Structure 1
Amino acid sequence: MSKLIIQGGHKLKGEIRISGMKNAATPILAACILATERCVIKNIPNISDVRVMLQILKGLGFLISYKNHTVTVLPKKVTLRGLDVGLIQKLRSSILILGPLLSRMGRVSLPEPGGCIIGRRPIDTHLYGFQKLGAKVLHKNKQIFLSAQKLKGAEIILPEFSVTATENIIMAACLAKGITVIKSAAIEPHVIDLIDFLNKLGGNIKQDLGHKIIVKGVKKLFGGEHTVIPDSIEAGTFIVATLITKGKLKLRGVDHNHLDAVYELLERIGAGLTLSKNSVEIFFKKPLSSFKLQALPYPGFPTDLQAPFGLLATQCNGTSLIHDPLYEGRMSYVNELIKMGANAIICDPHRVLITGLTALKGMEIKGLDLRAGATLVLAGLLAKGITIVDGSENLDRGYEKFDERLNKLGAKIKRE
């Protein structure tokens, strides 16, 4: 297990270009299973989750080229014999190959996926959607078995705003006979990016009146080119890093529409913010005010930024309330911040009260998931002395060269 050793007390300054979005890249790569011609995907981040997904596609028989953040996927005869169970169990987003494989092959058997430990994330909503499309489903002993002679369009009312379930059902419905209407669908930017990609391949999908998605089945999907959207979660992470170090940073290559909820909160607490075309300059201009934050489905505040903004709350005047109703395990980072000197009370698995301003002191800590790991690295930038963050491989799952890029902005981080 690798470690990051961080010397605190250095302001961040300069410019950085935001990477392609992890949460958009993996479903789009999974969707290539449906294509019958070459797909070229640009702005793919060089992260371990992407590399694992590419290995899974290779195991299915696809020819893969990955160079300069561009992936080319050439379809060959798809085979389930090459699926690596170990890779499936490493990657939470491997669940996204279920829909495309069911649609293309008519059957699929997979173990339950792995991924971050952020609470219970059952796959019932995925399986419910497949059943509504006409698939036979067996979920037993942590193994998933799906089969269908021909999927048929249906009206599906999802019991939760599940991003991956929405994506999986969209992909399964693309080649189904008839029209599928998904209600209570997730409409996060990466879901819309997946829809845009599938439509470029010849799909017929549209978002209609808020959380409703309509999929008209087509006989065949072709090939095409697509550029993955910028990572708004990475942008939000660098924004917090700038504010806690009282620095000044320009983020290039952002989509402002995807950051509306973040910008609104930043303006409310008094952060310095200047927007221009495809870029934002963030700077510390005065002591920040405490805030209430509730993670919500899009267009609400993203759950993946709850942890970094929980850290930011330690540097705000007054008591902030952080509420994440989506996952009960997302507060693991708070216990580590308390060790470092934060004044925080975990009210229940979904809510925490954090009172600032508090100084943090460096020590050895551990991030249990991707976003907690990134948050604790930022805590190390803020803390007095040396902070050691165990489990930096979690960071590599979703942030491209995170430590190297922070160092270029003025941080002092060493990897061991």
Structure 2
Amino acid sequence: MRWLEITRSNSLTGSITIPGSKNSSLPLLAACCLCDEEVTLKNIPNISDVSLVCDIAKDIGMKIVINNDKLILDPSNIHSSLIDHNKSAHFRASYYFAGALLGKFKRVSIGYPGGDDFGSRPIDQHIKGLEALGAKFNFYNDYYVVEAEKLIGADIYLDVISSGATINIMLAAVLAEGKTILRNVARDPEVVDVAMFLNEMGACVKGAGTDLIIIEGVKTLGGGTHCAIPDRLIAGSYLMAAAITGGNIKVQGIIPEHLISCTAKLKEAGVCIEEGNDFIRAYTDDKIQGINVKATMYPGFATDLQQPLTSMMLVASSHSVITDTVYPGRFNNCHELNRMGADIIIKEGSVTIPGNRSLKGAWVNASDVRAGISLILAGLIAEGTTYITGVEHIERGYVDIVKDFVSLGANIKLVEKIEEEEQEDDEEASLSVC
């Protein structure tokens, strides 16, 4: 069993360099399957989700050499489009392999997407887009099969703005015959990053970053080098860590433009923000004030940041209301915060957060990566010790969260304990050998 132990910490201070974006790295790795030559990806974070997608890629024949945050990928020997159903069931972004492999192999088999548990996240827009390009879906108990003899460009309107669907359809469309027009698409920086990568490899994608993307299909993609953008969600979480502890933290190696909605809300709450070309510093001169926030699609306030923001607002001088229009059920962290004395009022799609809360340490569980950072922030200001299980979820998005928080002055450590039964078995085995 593994858990994090956190005791109340003084103001966090210092600098932290932000790693590459998880939400860019995963589709970038899958997109390499489209290429015919070697690709080098830089600034790829060493997290469990990246390790899993690399395992899946290796299973189907991709050669991968890893050197710190640089990956050299050779897709020339990919021999299969059968994605391990068990592995993909633990990895939501496995659906990117459908878009990346369908044009070359005409048939892709994938387990149903897994990942964080915070409400229904259907893939209906993925299905709609790929079907418009000529694909057919067959669904089975624990996997689905996508088939297309030929992909042909189409005019596609997404009923719901979805970053994942936008990227997946884009991957399939770059090798489709003719022109594809994607309407009402996601404008996230991660969508732009993947589009830039595809263009660098020889694709023709225009309009990424707007709600209209036009793709002229090409016959092949070559190779090259691409650097993933920094993770705006990790950066935002550390800015909130400064605010909740009354500290002073500089996040560097970032693109401040990607965090405009986040820093705007932090300023509204009374957090002091300083920006440079590649950094943001956050600190507080006085107590922060309650605010109202609506999480929505980019460039609005990110749903991935509403959970750590919820913890931050517990120390505000007045109550706050947070509404999540993207994932209305994404408030698992609030149930755990209430175990610590938060007294958050939870309704479908929104929460009301009372200010001036005094939290007490407790055993709590991180049900997803963003819930995990929310609980860590709460543990930093709680009396006594906070114990957080579900560490594996946090590791899906953070390279070494303990090391990073310790460098800023946090009292946090990772505890690993062998179950008593395992210890007894080991002792018995030792005695029998003797």
TM-score (norm 2): 0.94
2:263 maps to 1:272? no
Per-residue deviation, residues 238-273 of structure 1 (Å, max 9, x unmatched): 011111111111111110110010111111111011
- Residue by residue over 1:101-121, the C-alpha shift from the partner in whole angstroms, topping out at 9 and shown as x without a partner, is 112211111110210001001
1:355 counterpart residue number: 354
Equivalent residue number for residue 76 of structure 2: 76
Find the aligned partners of 2:90 and 2:391 in 1 and give their Cα distance: 16
Letter in 2 for 1:298: Y
The match for 1:395 is: 394
Which amino acid letter does the alignment assign opposite residue 358 of structure 2?
A
Counterpart of 1:296 in structure 2 is: 296
- Deviating more after overlay: 200-209 vs 144-153: 200-209
RMSD of aligned Cα (Å): 1.2
Match for 1:100: what amino acid?
Answer: A
Q: Give the Cα–Cα distance (whole angstroms) in 2 for the partners of residues 239 and 166 of structure 1.
A: 29
Alignment of 1:120-139 (within 5 A): 120-139=120-139
Unaligned runs of 5+ in 2: 416-434
Looking at structure 2, the residues matched to 79 and 173 of structure 1 have their Cα atoms a distance apart, in angstroms, of 21
Deviating more after overlay: 1-10 vs 400-409 = 1-10
Task: Give the direction of change, closer, same or farther, for the CA distance of 1:209–1:273 in structure 2 (3 Å limit).
Answer: closer
State the match for 1:15 in structure 2. Answer: 15
SS of 1:110 mapped into structure 2: strand
Q: Is 1:102 aligned to 2:98, yes or no?
A: no
Alignment correspondent of 1:335:
335
- Alpha-carbon deviation of 1:132? 0.2
Residue type of the alignment partner of 1:163: S
Q: CA deviation at 1:81?
A: 6.9
The 1-side partners of 2:288 and 2:309 are apart by 12
Taking structure 1 as reference, are residues 290 and 81 closer, same or farther at Cα in structure 2, changes over 3 Å only?
closer
CA–CA distance in 1 between the matches of 2:411 and 2:290? 28
C-alpha separation in 1, matches of 2:56 and 2:219 = 25
Aligned pairs for 1:281-320 (under 5 A) are: 281-320=281-320
Query: How far, CA to CA, are the matches of 1:65 and 1:295 in structure 2?
Result: 38
Q: CA deviation at 1:82?
A: 6.6
Asked whether the equivalents of residues 9 and 384 of structure 1 are also in contact (C-alpha less than 8 Å), the reply is: no
Aligned to 1:201: 201
Whole-angstrom distance in 2 between the partners of 1:329 and 1:208: 29
Q: Equivalent residue for 1:375?
A: 374
1:128-163 deviation line (CA, Å, top 9, x unaligned): 111100112222324211111110000000111111
1:27 is aligned to 27
Output the amino acid matched with 1:394. H
Q: Deviations over 1:53-73 (max 9, x none)?
A: 001110010110111200110
Query: Contact 1:381–1:411 (CA<8 Å) still a contact in 2?
Result: yes
State the AA in 2 paired with 1:97.
Answer: F
Letter in 2 for 1:67: N
Partners of 2:145 and 2:328 lie apart in 1 by 28
Partner residue in 1 for 2:151: 151
CA distance in 1, matches of 2:154, 2:320: 44
SS across alignment from 1:379: helix
Matches for 1:18-57 after TM superposition, within 5 Å:
18-57=18-57
SS of the residue 2:73 aligns to: strand
**CA distance in structure 1 between the partners assigned to 2:385 and 2:14 by the alignment:** 23
SS at match of 2:32: helix
> What are the within-5 Å matches in structure 2 for residues 223-234 of structure 1?
223-234=223-234
Structure 1 position 371, deviation (Å)? 0.6
Given that 2:15 and 2:252 are in contact with CA atoms closer than 8 Å, whether structure 1 keeps it comes out as yes
Partner of 1:345: 345
Q: Secondary structure of the equivalent of 1:98?
A: helix
CA contact (8 A) 1:32 1:73 kept: yes
Once the 2 structures are TM-superposed, how far is the Cα of residue 79 of structure 1 from its aligned partner? 2.3
Partner of 2:423: none
CA positional deviation for 1:208: 6.6
TM-score if structure 1 supplies the norm length? 0.98
| Amino-acid identity (%) | 38
Q: Distance in 1 between matches of 2:214 and 2:82?
A: 33
Larger deviation: 277-286 or 220-229? 277-286
The 8 Å contact of residues 328 and 350 in structure 2, kept in 1 or not, is answered as no
Give the secondary-structure state (helix, strand or coil) at the position aligned to 1:76.
coil
Following the alignment from structure 1 to structure 2, what is the Cα–Cα distance between the partners of residues 54 and 403?
24
Inter-partner Cα distance in structure 1 for 2:25 and 2:209: 26
Q: Which moved more, 1:187-196 or 1:70-79?
A: 70-79
1:288 is paired with a residue whose SS is coil
The residue identity in structure 2 corresponding to 1:295 is A
Alpha-carbon distance in structure 2 between the residues aligned to 1:187 and 1:117: 24
Shift of 1:227: 0.5
Secondary structure of 1:19's partner? Answer: coil
Contact 2:109 2:144 in 1 (8 A): yes
Other structure's SS at 1:210 match: coil
Structure 2 CA distance, aligned partners of 1:270 and 1:242?
12
Preserved contact between residue 117 and residue 329 of structure 1 (Cα < 8 Å): no
After TM superposition, give the deviation of residue 343 of structure 1 in Å.
2.8
Q: CA deviation at 1:393?
A: 0.9
Which residue is 2:188 aligned to?
Answer: 188
Question: 2:179 & 2:290 partners in 1: Cα distance?
Answer: 47
CA distance in 2, matches of 1:66, 1:44: 10
Could you tell me which amino acid in structure 2 is paired with residue 351 of structure 1?
Answer: S
Instruction: Give the structure 1 partner of residue 248 of structure 2.
Output: 248
- Superposition deviation, residue 209 in structure 1: 8.5
Q: Which residue of 1 aligns with 2:419?
A: none
Q: How many residues align?
A: 415
Residues 379, 34 of structure 1: alpha-carbon distance in 2 compared, 3 angstrom cutoff: same
Alignment correspondent of 2:364: 365
Segment of structure 1 superposing worse, 132-141 or 107-116: 132-141
User: One-letter code of the match for 1:159?
Assistant: D
The one-letter amino acid of 1:133's match is: L
Query: Greater shift after overlay, 77-86 or 157-166?
Result: 77-86
Check if 1:406 corresponds to 2:405: yes
